[in-house]
Copies of this chain bind each other. A is one copy, B any other.
Amino acid sequence: MASGISLKELAAELKLAPSTVSRALNDSYEISEATKKKVISMAEKLNYHANPFARSLRENKSKTIAVIIPERINNFFAQVMDGIEEIAQEHGYHLLVYNTHEDVEREKKIVNLLLNGRADAIVMSVSSQTSDISHLMKLHERGLPIIFFDRVRSEIPTTKFITNDYESAFEGTKHLINQGCKKIALLTLGKDLSTTKERQRGYNDAILSEGWELDPALTLYCSHEEDSNVELIEKLLKSSDKPDGILASVEKLAFATYQTVKKTTLSIPSDLKLISFSNASVANLLNPSLTTITQPAVSIGNECAKLLIKKLTKPKHYELLDQVITIPSKITVRESTLVE
């Protein structure tokens, strides 16, 4: 259909063997400079482009990396993607992108699709629903290089890139306490998420370090649906012992909190202080501006891609060791946690 000239045809035009033309185009030492030039100029003239599938079939690699994210409308994941793409493009790699929409069934389907080797490797962040990981195990057992970022699974022995979730949540909670909060709630996603666990641990430890007790009712496990989250938060804010501080594990939940507060007579930060993990550039434009824990999203993407491409291009020299690499987040204090 949209195919152009083939190597064989190009060779015929040049009165050379296909093997020679192939070598010339791949800059083989076996070919004289003279013929190389002839081949290259003719290739350009005839608009020759190597068929990527023939090459992939022969070489058993596709120069393609699959990226699986749970959400696209999310500044963190979008920035990670940009970070991955930057490095990938530099090395001639293409990106297949899949959005699971936080749905583990979709995640399974996508992962199974990748079992056929369409991509040379996978970079992913699991969905918040993901509990059983047999589908991921199968991928790894098949020998497909896989790197996790942000939402990782320690059961799979490979390299993971994350931010300092525990410390950031600890510091974030401490910040709320320093600003005078006495009762702090944690808004988070799925229980099985590595980020949830770590951030909750940081939150818990900060609470306990004050000699306070942990109140399970103050940890909310939210969903991916704005409406039900608002309901959940509304119930929290209307309860008898409502919190005066909130740590949101993802920006979506901070936004939901704003939406909820708008429906009440409460106001931020006087009645409720709010801090959130977020990479939103509009954090300082919100009303009030949002105190954020900003993750090094682009760097995380960069590092994932760099390591993966090393592994793919020099398999002998690089391994995806079973390790977790942490890149720290940064807290930016704004009005939402201000003492008045």
Contact = CB atoms under 8 A, between A and B. Distances in A.
Interface string A1-34: 1111000000000000000000000000000000
Given A73-B82, A286-B285, A51 B61 contact: no
Contacts of A82: 72-73, 99
A195 to B, nearest CB: 21
Interface in A93-133: 94-99, 106, 113, 115-118, 120
Interface residues on A, range: 35 or more
A101 to B, nearest CB: 8
B72 A81 contact: yes
Interface in A59-84: 60-62, 64, 72-73, 75, 78-79, 81-82
A53 B56 contact: yes
A272 to B, nearest CB: 15
A116 B49 contact: yes
A180 interface: no
B287 A288 contact: yes
Contact of A258 (B64, B85, B97, B285): B285
A89 B72 CA distance: 15
A98 to B, nearest CB: 8
A290 B18 CA distance: 62
B1 A61 contact: yes
Given A52-B117, A286-B286, A2 B281 contact: no
A117 B286 contact: no
Given A2-B144, A287-B287, 12 more contacts: A1-B315, A2-B143, A49-B115, A81-B97, A89-B106, A95-B96, A255-B285, A258-B285, A259-B285, A285-B287, A286-B286, A287-B289
